[in-house]
């Protein structure tokens, strides 16, 4: 299987940054070679602390560069102001936004903005994730892998 190269920004709660490498490996086994534009605390230039600077000068260009934004859903993801801002920013740019449950995640861990702007939410399953990134799967799953009726807003999303 040849790997297709995709530019992906992974939105995540900072405690889940260590899951990004496992995510890359998982989708790599299923045909996507990920070029990563994600921002990790260790990648912040000059130990930046100013929130507006971090968002506008560091994160926003990385989201713009990416073709898809993947949101890792783990404990406390829903509470992250940065994750919700990243999702909203990606939506404003017309990006495809896909949620992926981490092990142990619950439905209440889904960020509000993901429910509003996401195209798909799937479990930690390489084939399903790749299909969601490719736009072939717009399923909304529960953490146990069963289907939700739709996103909680009941909206259908279309890529322009």
* Tokens linked to 79: 């509470």
For 29, the domain range is: 4-134
Average pLDDT over residues 135-150: 88
Domains: count for the chain: 1
Q: Does the residue 139 lie in any domain? A: no
Burial class (CB in 10 A: 0-12, 13-18, 19+), 53: middle
Res 159: pLDDT: 45
Q: Does the residue 48 lie in any domain? A: yes
Q: Does the residue 92 lie in any domain? A: yes
Q: Does the residue 54 lie in any domain? A: yes
Distance CA 90, CA 69 (A): 7
Q: What is the pLDDT of residues 69-89, one digit of tens each?
A: 999 999 999 999 999 999 999
- Output the domain CATH number for residue 115: 3.40.50.300
Q: What is the pLDDT of residues 16-70, one digit of tens each?
A: 999 999 999 999 999 999 998 887 765 555 566 788 988 998 899 999 999 999 9
- The whole-model pTM stands at 0.89
Q: Does the residue 143 lie in any domain? A: no
φ/ψ of 33, rounded to 5, equals -95, 110
Q: Does the residue 52 lie in any domain? A: yes
């Amino acid at each position: 299987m040849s790997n297709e190269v995709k530019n992906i920004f992974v939105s995540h709660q900072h405690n889940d940054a260590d899951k990004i490498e496992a995510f890359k490996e998982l989708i790599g086994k299923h045909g996507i070679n990920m070029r990563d534009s994600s921002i990790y605390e260790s990648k912040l230039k000059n130990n930046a602390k100013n929130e507006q600077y971090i968002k506008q000068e560091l994160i926003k260009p990385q989201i713009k560069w990416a073709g898809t934004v993947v949101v890792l859903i783990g404990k406390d993801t829903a509470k992250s102001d940065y994750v919700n801002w990243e999702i909203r920013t990606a939506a404003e740019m017309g990006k495809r936004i896909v949620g992926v449950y981490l092990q142990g995640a619950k439905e209440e861990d889904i960020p509000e903005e993901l429910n509003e702007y996401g195209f798909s939410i799937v479990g930690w399953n390489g084939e399903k994730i790749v299909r969601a990134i490719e736009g072939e799967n717009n399923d909304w799953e529960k953490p146990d892998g069963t289907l939700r009726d739709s996103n909680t807003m009941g909206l259908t999303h279309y890529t322009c």
